[in-house]
Amino acid sequence: MFKILGNILTLVGLILTVGIILVLAYVFSKYIGRSMVGYSSSPNMKVVDRIALGQDKSLVIAKVGAKYFLLGVSSANINMLKEISPEELGTLAQTENKEAVGVPQFKSVFSDLLSKMKR
């Protein structure tokens, strides 16, 4: 009887210990995350958009002051591919919005497929 009770108490103690460790890890990661925000923000530089091209490779549109730059980023280096004017950036955004109008939404396509399967 006492052996079973001792095993149950040990199990409860382990569960509580793991729970406390998880809560402390969460609290400390939030604290460290808030303190690191000041290091990564800049009033003069901002990443406007980013798209991944592969593992450790991406294209980035960065704003530095009033200028925009298209950057190629890999694990080995960063290359400036082109300086983009604000007008070109606006034109790209308008073109993208026009193309997105003709693209069917996933929800509507999925609903159509479900209704066809039910028939």
* Tens-place pLDDT, residues 63-117: 888 889 999 999 999 999 989 887 777 766 555 554 444 555 667 666 777 777 7
Q: Which one is predicted more confidently, 10 or 107?
A: 10
SS3 57: strand
Cα angle 37, 32, 45 (rounded to 5 degrees) comes to 15
Cα angle 42, 40, 25 (rounded to 5 degrees) comes to 150
